[in-house]
Amino acid sequence: MKIKVLQNLLQANARKAAEIRAILKDKKILMVNLISSPGSGKTSLLEKTLPLISQKYRTAVIEGDVETDRDAMRLEKYGVPIALINTSGACHLESISIEKAFTALDLNALDLIFVENVGNLVCPAEFDIGEDAKVALISTPEGDDKPVKYPLLFREAGLAILNKIDLGEHVNFDTKQFYSDLKKLNANLLVLEMSCRTGYGLQTWIEWLEKRIMEKQK
């Protein structure tokens, strides 16, 4: 019974996600879904990314948060449209959340939408929101075993970012084990090593985004 209800939910979510995907295709907007644990650096990544990309490509952020506007406030100064979705306790965004956020954005004036999902390594990966790519962030202090322990996200992701690489030596992060585990889960997954604090890896991330924006606009 419980499973049936969940499947109905997932089916309804998938239908709405397909509608969102069609809108994004029509409007030639790239939408990237940032997923990670709390504190891996999703908002920090946006703080570093927005100044580097929003002059060239018209960018917006859909900000998912359980109940505060803290992350949205952190991003306000970058001058891009932000649609905040408070999930009222729910642990992930669904496609219906994105549909609501779209009503607050001018889709005719956008090339790129970042979705910052609720901080959670489990459920957000289960819900298609119509995005072009899921980007999985993990940070070195979380430990090298996270892909194996929370595999769905890493199977679904189009890109993984290993953040806080500057802390790796302080936390005994086993890079070799990390890459070996990831390869078994998703052999084709590209991983970018990054430090939002030092800026390391940001340029490669921007290139990754630009390439996909241009493909979408073809």
Which residues of the shown chain bind its own copies in the complex (CB under 8 A)?
2, 5, 9, 37-40, 65-68, 70-71, 89-91, 118-123, 126, 138-139, 141-143, 145-146, 148-152, 164, 167, 170-171
CB of 118 to its own copies, least distance (A): 7
CB of 147 to its own copies, least distance (A): 10
How many residues appear in the chain? 218
Rounded CA separation 152/175 (Å): 20
CB of 37 to its own copies, least distance (A): 5
The residue behind tokens 């509608």 is 19
For its own copies, the closer CB: 60 or 138 = 138
For its own copies, the closer CB: 62 or 121 = 121
Residues contacting residue 102 through CB under 8 Å, at least 6 positions apart: 20, 23, 83
DSSP secondary structure, 103-158, as one string = TTS-GGG-SEEEEE--S-SSGGGG---S-SEEEEEEEGGG-TTHHHHSHHHHHH-S
For its own copies, the closer CB: 10 or 107 = 10
CB of 123 to its own copies, least distance (A): 5
